[in-house]
Chain A
Amino acid sequence: MAAPKPRVKVPKSASAGEVITIKTLISHKMESGQRKDKQGNVIPRKIINKFTCEFEGKPVFSCDLEPAISANPYFEFNAKVMESGTFKFTWVDDSGDVYTHEQGIEVK
């Protein structure tokens, strides 16, 4: 695959106090570090090891990922929204690369 690319699904609008469902998916190899190449050398581990979601700087959801997690990790979680604002999603991988995505929601 080409460079990891995040996909995020957040409703465009919601009513105050509504519990919304957020879905995220990122393309990533999640190389476990357990495999060997054709010459028998260990392929170094390269996984996304941390995922966070913040709303206007406040944590909503975060987790650590381990090598057993499949390629292209998918997360689905819920959040209660009280006011309009922006969700910020961050994926960090072993090489220190950070992939981010932001998406706003309008609360009526």
Chain B
Amino acid sequence: MKNRIILAAAAAVAASGMAISVVSAEPADDELVIDGEMTMVTRTAAPKDHPLDEVMSGWLFRTPETRALEADSFQNPGMLYVERGEEIWNTVEGEAGKSCASCHGDASETMAGVGTAYPKWDADAKRPINLELQINKCRENNLKAEAYKFDAAEQKALTTYIKHQSLGKPVQMDLSQGDLQSWWKKGEELYYTRTGQLNLSCASCHEENNGKYIRADHLSQGNVNGFPTYRLKQANMVSLHNRFRGCIRDTRAEYPAAFSDELMALEVYVTWRGTGLSVETPAVRQ
């Protein structure tokens, strides 16, 4: 008898679980205007050969409270890291006795738009280079300073600061550089490859099921125009490769190292998928 009650309860839970899975978590019909001044592109027509018709910013998939945090640059906790990044930009480090500012001057001029075009092709290394790696390259070659370790607080703050100089400008990669096209292709393959015990690909969630719930969370299209992102869960900045690894871990797969060939290829491909969206760094997410 007792067993039967438990079974009935389990069936009820299963039924309600199914009901939840078909409840939609549609993107918001809302406009992102930072400080009432700067209107961001959060929806735009997809680039040629894109599997979706419209690309949408992850901002549209968040709750009204989280969306409001990003719309006010004072409330946005990510701006604390932008300020920290500015300090690092102006701090002399390394044997050459230089800071970023020694060569690049005022970041608001020299770095404007720079964050929209990464990853780029690195002719020296013959592989794609993202902002974090570009900073490290600059530190080693020009500052004669040590490269940052992956996800060092300084790396996240400086990357956030540099990318923030492109706030509001559309993501626009140039895939004609070097061999970027074949890395794009490799990234595409990875995007559609199922991994882990849960047997999920990026596309399983972010292409086929965006706008629906995954447990209590809304699935976005997985665009990366807001990275590094302030995540409320971590109460800290989260880098793109950290998020990639987190997602792959959640499929219960072994995840590649940060800046490995796999994740660089994925960064090339996934960044391209968000072509035309405004850079939102530092975006605020759940």
Contact surface of A with B, Cβ cutoff 8 Å: 1-2, 5, 7, 9, 23, 25, 27, 30, 70-72, 74, 76
Contacts and interface: CB of A to CB of B under 8 A. Distances in A.
Contacts of B235: 30, 70-72
B77 A74 contact: yes
A74 B75 contact: yes
Given A23-B75, A72-B80, 12 more contacts: A2-B87, A5-B80, A7-B74, A25-B74, A25-B77, A27-B80, A70-B232, A70-B235, A71-B235, A72-B77, A74-B77, A76-B75
B257 interface: no
Interface string B65-84: 00000000011010011011
Contacts of A72: 77, 80, 235
A76 B87 CA distance: 27
25 contacts: A1-B80, A1-B81, A1-B84, A1-B153, A2-B84, A2-B87, A5-B83, A7-B74, A7-B80, A23-B74, A23-B75, A25-B74, A25-B75, A25-B77, A25-B80, A27-B80, A70-B235, A71-B77, A71-B235, A72-B77, A72-B80, A72-B235, A74-B75, A74-B77, A76-B75
B44 interface: no
A71 B237 CA distance: 12
Contacts of A7: 74, 80
B236 interface: yes
Nearest to A23: B74
Given A70-B232, A70-B235, A9 B74 contact: yes
B257 to A, nearest CB: 20
Nearest to B237: A1
A74 B77 CA distance: 9
Interface of B: 74-75, 77, 80-81, 83-84, 87, 153, 232, 235-236
Contacts of A25: 74-75, 77, 80
Nearest to B230: A72
A73 B39 CA distance: 27
Contacts of A1: 80-81, 84, 153
Contacts of B87: 2
Contacts of B232: 70
A23 B75 CA distance: 8
Given A1-B84, A2-B84, A71 B236 contact: yes
A9 B84 CA distance: 18
B25 to A, nearest CB: 23
Nearest to A73: B77
Nearest to B154: A2
B199 to A, nearest CB: 31
A27 B87 CA distance: 15
B149 to A, nearest CB: 17
A5 B80 CA distance: 9
A9 B76 CA distance: 13
Nearest to A9: B74
A61 B77 CA distance: 22
Nearest to B88: A2
A48 to B, nearest CB: 14
